[in-house]
Amino acid sequence: MIKDVDSSKFIELAKEELKKMKELTPPEWSEFAKTGQHNKFPPQQSDWWHARAASIIRKIYSNQPLGVSRLKTYYGGKKERGHKPERFRKAGGSHIRKILQQLEAANLVKTKKEGLKRGRSLTEEGVKFVGKIVSEAKK
């Protein structure tokens, strides 16, 4: 279902829908903060917070349950170290954690704490949200 739609198209449409939700507001520090130590500069897009939230929803839908640590690995990258070889670094966890908390407040994501598979997964409302975006993207 979600694999049938191009990821960039899904994220673009979901970003516009997430902007309408009052729970998903970027904090004041988001325009100055880097997303990880592998980056030289903060994101240049003005709406990167909502784009990352849409990307996180897509990732959780595909691989639920997911925790902050696995998402940090997914959004990490290679750090330039001068003449030394590049090395992989995880992304920062603060913005991922805050986005997940905001998605929980919007009732799109829930936390699973029992059992071996812990992390965040989509609620029924979150699955409906993804289905709506996918149907829009297919048109």
Q: What percent of the chain has pLDDT over 70?
A: 100
Q: Distances in Å between the alpha carbon of 65 and those of 1, 89, 96, 111? A: 18, 23, 15, 9
Residue range 40-44: mean pLDDT, rounded: 88
Q: Is the pTM of this model over 0.85?
A: yes
Residue range 58-74: mean pLDDT, rounded: 92
Residue range 49-72: mean pLDDT, rounded: 92
Give domain limits for the chain: 2-138
What is the architecture, at CATH level 2, of domain 2-138?
Answer: Orthogonal Bundle (1.10)
